[in-house]
Amino acid sequence: MASGFSGRLWAGRELVDRLARQSPARLALSVFAAVIAVFTGLLSTPFATASDTRAPFVDALFTATSAVCVTGLVTVPTGTYWSAFGHVVILVGIKIGGLGVMTLASVLGMAVSRRIGLTQKLLTASETKTTRLGEVGSLVRVVIITSTTLEIAIALLLIPRFLVLGETFGRATWHGIFYAVSAFNNAGFIPTAEGLAPYTGDWLLLMPIVVGVFIGSLGFPVILNVARHRRSVRRWSLHAKLTIVTSALLVVTGSFLFLVFEWANAGTLGPMGWQDKLLSGLFMGVMPRSGGFSTVDVGEMREASWLINDALMFVGGGSASTAGGIKVTTLAVMMLAIVAEARGDQDVEVFGRRIPRETLRLAVAVSFVGATAVLVSSLLLLEITGWTLDVVLFEVISAFATVGLSTGVTADLPEAGKYVLVALMFIGRTGTMTLAAALALRDRRRVIRLPEERPIIG
């Protein structure tokens, strides 16, 4: 019997190794789906809910997918519906989703063998977009050390603040840890029924969350590069520079436009003092990057603010980060290409580097696939729900970009609509191009190239 079990184990390992070599992306999707299935099972148990009854399968699946995909959209109120066990399950799902299943697999491999094998390197390279396999070991260490250190630092800032606000030590500690992990991993889950609305003017509570969300949205390759060359900005990689600069510009633009459109809105910023308005503006400028927290009622925002949020959410954060969307480097490359075309330049250049044409084609493909996913999902939800386009589009983009902001209608979705958002969250987290690569049977390599002829554009 032992021999038979060992044989099946060895055969399974051979299958995993073969899949990892042939299609790391396909294996990544399979493992990610398996992790979601496990957490769905855990949340389906009676003791995962506060009422000690089994949660409906669709709600357990939706919450598990939202947690592992670090989204934050919910069909049931997290703070009151789930028990303490359910909250722990959600928190662990957020942590695993933030690190990336393939990164976690490499960490386990390091713990067993004290080194990373080729299979694990291939898997992690697919998950983290690392181009050189030799960097994977360093990246994995930075992922674990940086994420855990920042989460602890955020928690240590939040716990005393919750104590000052009147919470018990145990409750303050739990809330500090939960918000810290949820913030850095851009998950947007909240463990309390009232959320962050009571703290709209609390700089000491909200700023650690803002910083955690922003750093988490930059991406682990950026964190690795900046950590290595923290004393010399000139030695930062082009990817790090593009990510940081574009991210900062999006935060400033988003905050400014939110303040402009909501300054006098009685349902959001209107009743606040100017200091609280500035804090809320900064907070809401960062959250569409994929954070998902909110200090104001999103459903009371003006439609112009919804549209700005749609755009910011669709872009998302940095590549290989805890954020979703098409990623800020995708936007940066396309904008640079437009500028180069307007100036008549043959090459796309920035920061003393030339961007290859292949990168521009990939940026266009990512954007198109993302827009197609949003379009198809929006059409489905419009037919399923009968809601207006502005509400549907906001929910769809929030799910695709794994943001978690909502106008307040997620819980009212019909069952079919919930499944649509589950699929969209999975696609958004695993990446549009990763999904495309996983579904592709093989790369097409052509020996003969056809003659070139240019169609008329525009």
pLDDT score for 6? 55
C-beta atoms surrounding 403 within 10 Å: 33
Question: What value, to the nearest 5°, has the Cα angle with vertex 111 and ends 105 and 116?
Answer: 60
pLDDT score for 112? 46
**Residue 367 vs residue 99, higher pLDDT:** 367
pLDDT in tens, 351-383: 989 998 888 888 888 899 899 999 999 999 999
pLDDT score for 108? 47
Hey, what's the torsion of the CAs at 111, 114, 115, 116, to 10 degrees?
-10
Q: For residues 73 and 365, what is the distance between their CA atoms, to the nearest angstrom? A: 27
Which amino acid is residue 150, in one-letter code? L
Cross-strand partners of 354: 349
Mean pLDDT of 400-411: 93
pLDDT score for 194? 84
Reported as a pLDDT band with limits 50, 70 and 90, residue 133 is low
Q: For residues 216 and 322, what is the distance between their CA atoms, to the nearest angstrom? A: 6
Reported as a pLDDT band with limits 50, 70 and 90, residue 21 is low
DSSP-derived secondary structure for 369-429: HHHHHHHHHHHHHHHHH---HHHHHHHHHHHHTT-----S-GGG--HHHHHHHHHHHHHHH
pLDDT score for 114? 47
Q: Alpha carbon 173 to chain centroid distance?
A: 25
Alpha helices in 129-219 (DSSP H): 136-164, 169-184, 203-218
The token pair at 40 is 């769905």
Instruction: Report the range of poorest mean pLDDT among 219-228, 318-327, 363-372, 437-446.
Output: 437-446
CA-wise closest residue to 268 among 252, 283, 248: 283
Q: HSE (CB half, 13 Å, CA atoms) of 357?
A: 4
Q: Is the CB of residue 291 less than 8 Å from the CB of residue 188?
A: yes
Q: For residues 364 and 420, what is the distance between their CA atoms, to the nearest angstrom? A: 25
Phi first, then psi: give them for residue 167, nearest 5 degrees.
-80, 155
pLDDT score for 25? 62
Q: Does 440 have pLDDT greater than 70?
A: no
Mean pLDDT of 197-217: 92
Reported as a pLDDT band with limits 50, 70 and 90, residue 407 is very high
Q: Does 1 have pLDDT greater than 60?
A: no
The token pair at 445 is 């390599």
Residues 6+ apart with CB under 8 A from 30: 19
Q: For residues 396 and 421, what is the distance between their CA atoms, to the nearest angstrom? A: 7
Which amino acid is residue 357, in one-letter code? R
Q: HSE (CB half, 13 Å, CA atoms) of 58?
A: 14
Question: What value, to the nearest 5°, has the Cα angle with vertex 318 and ends 141 and 396?
Answer: 125
Q: Is the CB of residue 293 less than 8 Å from the CB of residue 190?
A: yes
Mean pLDDT of 230-255: 92
pTM equals 0.88
pLDDT score for 167? 93
Q: Does 119 have pLDDT greater than 70?
A: no
**Residue 194 vs residue 294, higher pLDDT:** 294
- Between helices 2-22 and 24-43, what is the axis angle to 10°? 120
pLDDT score for 13? 52
pLDDT score for 441? 44
Residues 6+ apart with CB under 8 A from 34: none
Q: What percent of the chain has pLDDT over 90?
A: 58
pLDDT score for 197? 87
Mean pLDDT of 110-122: 52
Mean pLDDT of 379-399: 96
The rounded mean pLDDT for the chain is 85
pLDDT score for 11? 52
Mean pLDDT of 431-455: 64
**Residue 389 vs residue 17, higher pLDDT:** 389
User: For residue 331, what is the enclosing H or E element?
Assistant: helix 328-343
Q: Does 191 have pLDDT greater than 60?
A: yes
